[in-house]
Amino acid sequence: MKKTRMVFLAGMAMLAVAASGETLINGAGATFPYPIYSKWFNEYHKLHPDIQINYQSRGSGAGVQQVTAGTVDFGASDYTLTDTQIKEFATKRGSEILAFPTVLGAAVAAYNIPGVTTSLNFTPEALAGIYLGKITKWNDPELVKNNPGVKLPNADIVVIHRAEASGTTFMWTDYLSKVSKEWEMKVGRGASVNWPLGLGGQGSEGVTGQLKQTPNSIGYVELTYVLQNKIPYGKVKNAAGEFVQADLASVTAAAASAAKNMPDDFRVSITNAPGKGAYPISSFTWLLIPSKISDPTKKKALADFLGWMLKDGQTMTTALSYAPLPKEVVAKETKAIAKIN
């Protein structure tokens, strides 16, 4: 009896006590950058085995809500917080919420049309029309006109969007609001909108999965997901009138003007960016970190991670098809890390 009791207590001790010196940080948020974040946190953990940064990919909305509620140490979001949300954070948590851009990414129009493997050309009118439910068939004149030589079927377009609050949705609706007055009036921009039609996929992962399984579907999702899953995606006509494919160069071009005029709080939207070669549905994505962190080890770890992310982390982005931050942004951000105290 005594022996079993000892074993029992030893087992409980093992389950109960954290290894001394371990720093555990929890974050939640955007699915858009999840592939690069999971890589980063993994690599960082290999370099610092005593620091575990657990990131759960749930959507930008969850990131904002959870960091404001204080249930996670940091959030992540593909859209910048509104003034109301910033005020709400200050009221609830008594400190400022800082946004740190991490990478540049693109939301692409991906599709699954049997027999079509080439990259289609989408005009802003086409995308708005499809998502408003006004363009219902793949062989609609608006699509055919811009894609000569492609055999578009006479099939209904299955629209896929995000089911939950998402930064990618914000990026997409922000772009559509900029290029379509009708969209702006009827639906508007937001992380979660009243979609005129379509199926809801959960997370970028869910949308990609849904695309793969549904013929004649179209969905918007981060570039990495379509590349990793070999899904065809289209070119979009940018403000300069060119059909541009999303890639590192075009996403970087989209950020060029914003990089020079980056505000101190890093809140900027680069959709429908001017300039040649710019991909119009690009965006920064941000880590949302409270300015006051009570636990000194967590504070040090996060600040250290940010520094690493801005140097070594940036070298890992292109392998996963995210564009690294422009150097002006990196410089400004490195100084901003000091705001965490």
Partner 1 sequence: MATATLPRATRFSGRASILRRAFSGDSLAQALVFLCATGILALTALLVWELWTRSALSRATFGFDFLRTGTWDPVAGNFGALPFIYGTVVTSAVGLFIAIPFGVGAAIFLAELAPPKLSDAMTFLIELLAAVPSVIFGLLGIFVLVPMLMKIVPGLKDALGVLPIFSGPFYGVSLLSAGVVLSVMVAPYIISVSREVLLAVPRDMREAALAVGATRWETTWDIVVPHARRGIMGSIFLALARALGETMAVTMVVGNTPKIAASLLAPGYSIAAVIANEFAEATSDLHISTLVELGLVLFGITIVLNGAARLLILATGRKAG
Partner 2 sequence: MGVTKVKLSFRRKAVNAFMLALTGICTVVAVGLLFFILGYLFFKGGRSLNLNFFTQLPVPVGESGGGMANALLGSAKVLLLATCIGVPIGFLAGIYLAEYSGAAYASVIRFVTDLLNGVPSIVVGIFAYAIIVTRVGFSTLAGGVALSVMMIPIALRSTEEFLRSVPVSLREGAMALGATKSRTIATVVVPAAIRGLISGMMLNLARVAGETAPLLFTAFGNQFWSPGWRQPTATLPTMIYEYAKAPYDDWHRQAWAAGFVLLTLVLLVNVTARSIISGGLSHKPR
Site membership for partner 1, residue 58 (CB under 8 A): yes
Q: Which is nearer to partner 1, 102 or 210 (CB)?
A: 210
Instruction: Choose which of 130, 191, 218, 281 interacts with partner 1 (CB under 8 A).
Output: 191
**Which residue, among 220, 337, 222, has the nearest Cα to 287 in the 3D structure?**
337
Q: Which is nearer to partner 1, 57 or 119 (CB)?
A: 57
Q: Which is nearer to partner 2, 45 or 339 (CB)?
A: 45
Binding site partner of 200, from partner 1, partner 2, none, Cβ cut-off 5-8 A by kind: partner 1
Amino acid identity of residue 99, one-letter, is A
Q: How far apart are CA 17 and CA 274, in angstroms?
A: 55
Q: Give contact residues for partner 2 (rule: CB under 8 A).
A: 15-19, 22, 24, 26, 28, 34-35, 38-39, 41-42, 45, 52, 54-56, 69-72, 201-203, 205-206, 208-209, 211-212, 225, 228-229, 320
Sign of the CA dihedral with 62 first, then 272, 317, and 159 last: positive
Q: What is the end-to-end Cα distance of the chain in Å, rounded?
A: 52
Residue 248 CB, shortest distance to partner 1, in Å, is 30
Extract the tokens encoding 115.
């027999």
Sole window of 60-68, 93-101, 140-148, 274-282 interacting with partner 1 (rule: CB under 8 A): 60-68
Contact between residue 161 and residue 169 where contact means Cβ atoms under 8 Å apart: yes
Find the helix or strand (DSSP H, E) in which 182 lies: helix 181-186
Instruction: Choose which of 80, 217, 224, 238 interacts with partner 1 (CB under 8 A).
Output: 217
Contact between residue 172 and residue 218 where contact means Cβ atoms under 8 Å apart: no
Q: Which is nearer to partner 1, 202 or 257 (CB)?
A: 202
Give the number of C-alpha atoms closer than 13 A to the C-alpha of residue 223, restricted to the C-beta side.
25
Contact between residue 102 and residue 325 where contact means Cβ atoms under 8 Å apart: yes
Residue 273 CB, shortest distance to partner 2, in Å, is 28
What is the contact surface with partner 1 in residues (CB under 8 A)? Answer: 1, 28, 58-59, 61-66, 68, 85, 156, 158, 163-165, 188, 190-195, 197-202, 210, 213-214, 217
